[in-house]
């Protein structure tokens, strides 16, 4: 049973108007009216949770959920995990693989390749260190000392015996012919009955003597000059540990210097003047040079 409005009272028509408060704080605190003639109140938005920097403690499993044991890599690694970029599933307990060639962890060969620095460029082959030629020459010159006269005399005696043996091989047959030629000249002078001067050195014997001297000089060049220019020593010097060196560079002399050294030694030696040149080394200081050493600008080190 509904009651009718009394006289002088109007029934509300349409939605009622509510005055909006002037203060927003009051509007937020004032509850919205609810009823058949009012719109439903909007639900308040929930504030977003603030991100937490600290790792959250592990939550206990919900009742009824299956428990997954932790793998060897730690919590959360026990279950099978799909590999990124592929549909394959890694086996349980495997460690996540780092990104590398082929989408997986670099192989042992690739790791060694990186450790050796081969990615920066081609690796230069190892070469043994080479000593500076100037420092080596200076060191050899500083270490070289003039040899004693006793060793030099012994080495020269060996070289002289070798030269004499080879020269004698050519001189003996020529000497026999030269003696026969001189005997024939003497016999001819006796048969003539006249006083005749017989010269030992004539055209025939001069040729024989020239051949012997040529053998001596040529073999001396092969035996003295060439080995001295190449190795700085002859057979006699090698036996006694001696070496002919240039004074300035400390190296074996050039071929020209070695040839000049041999000629200055041999030619005055044939004239018996070379004995003075050999004795010169007794008084020369500091290199103890003989005449042939001074001509070639060399000294004998030992």
Q: Give domain status of residue 163, yes or no.
A: yes
Q: Give domain status of residue 32, yes or no.
A: no
Sequence-separated (6 or more) residues with CB below 8 Å from residue 302: 145, 146, 147, 148, 151, 152, 240, 241, 242, 243
The predicted model gives 184-211 an average pLDDT of 88
| Mean of all residue pLDDT scores within the chain | 74
Q: 230-253: per-residue pLDDT in tens?
A: 999 999 999 999 999 998 878 899
> Which residue is associated with the tokens 């002078």?
189
Percent of the chain scored above 70 by pLDDT? 61
- Residue 112: band (very low, low, confident or very high) from pLDDT cuts 50, 70, 90: confident
Range of the domain at 245: 141-301
Q: Give domain status of residue 204, yes or no.
A: yes
> Which residue is associated with the tokens 């003039």?
146
The predicted model gives 273-294 an average pLDDT of 91
Q: Give domain status of residue 63, yes or no.
A: no
75 vs 181, which has greater pLDDT?
181
The predicted model gives 102-106 an average pLDDT of 62
Q: Give domain status of residue 42, yes or no.
A: no
**Mean pLDDT lowest for which of 18-22, 225-229, 265-269, 270-274?**
18-22
The alpha carbons of the chain give a radius of gyration, in whole angstroms, of 59
Q: Give domain status of residue 64, yes or no.
A: no
Q: Give domain status of residue 236, yes or no.
A: yes
Q: Give domain status of residue 15, yes or no.
A: no
- Residue 35: band (very low, low, confident or very high) from pLDDT cuts 50, 70, 90: low
Max mean pLDDT among 46-50, 55-59, 117-121, 271-275 falls in 271-275
Q: What is the pTM of this model?
A: 0.54
Tally of structural domains, the chain? 1
């Amino acid at each position: 049973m509904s009651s009718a409005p009394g006289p002088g009272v109007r029934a509300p028509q349409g939605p009622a108007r509510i005055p909006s408060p002037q203060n927003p704080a009051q509007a937020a605190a004032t509850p919205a009216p609810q009823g058949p003639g009012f719109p439903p109140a909007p639900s308040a938005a929930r504030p977003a949770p603030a991100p937490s920097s600290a790792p959250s403690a592990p939550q206990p499993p919900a009742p009824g959920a299956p428990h997954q044991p932790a793998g060897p890599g730690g919590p959360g690694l026990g279950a099978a995990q799909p590999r990124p970029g592929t549909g394959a599933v890694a086996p349980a307990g495997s460690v996540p693989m780092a990104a590398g060639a082929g989408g997986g962890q670099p192989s042992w060969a690739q790791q060694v390749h990186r450790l050796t620095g081969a990615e920066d460029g081609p690796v230069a082959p190892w070469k043994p260190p080479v000593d500076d030629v100037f420092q080596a020459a200076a060191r050899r010159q500083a270490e070289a000392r003039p040899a004693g006269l006793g060793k030099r005399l012994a080495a020269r005696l060996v070289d002289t015996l070798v030269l004499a043996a080879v020269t004698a091989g050519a001189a003996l047959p020529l000497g026999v012919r030269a003696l026969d030629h001189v005997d024939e000249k003497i016999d001819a002078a006796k048969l003539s009955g006249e006083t005749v001067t017989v010269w030992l050195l004539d055209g025939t014997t001069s040729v024989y003597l020239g051949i012997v001297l040529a053998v001596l000089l040529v073999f001396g060049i092969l035996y003295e000059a060439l080995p001295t220019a190449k190795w700085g020593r002859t057979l006699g010097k090698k036996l006694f540990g001696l070496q002919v060196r240039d004074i300035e560079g400390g190296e074996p002399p050039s071929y020209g210097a070695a040839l000049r050294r041999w000629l200055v030694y041999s030619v005055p030696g044939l004239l018996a003047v070379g004995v003075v040149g050999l004795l010169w080394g007794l008084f020369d200081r500091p290199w103890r040079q003989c005449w042939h050493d001074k001509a070639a600008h060399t000294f004998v080190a030992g």
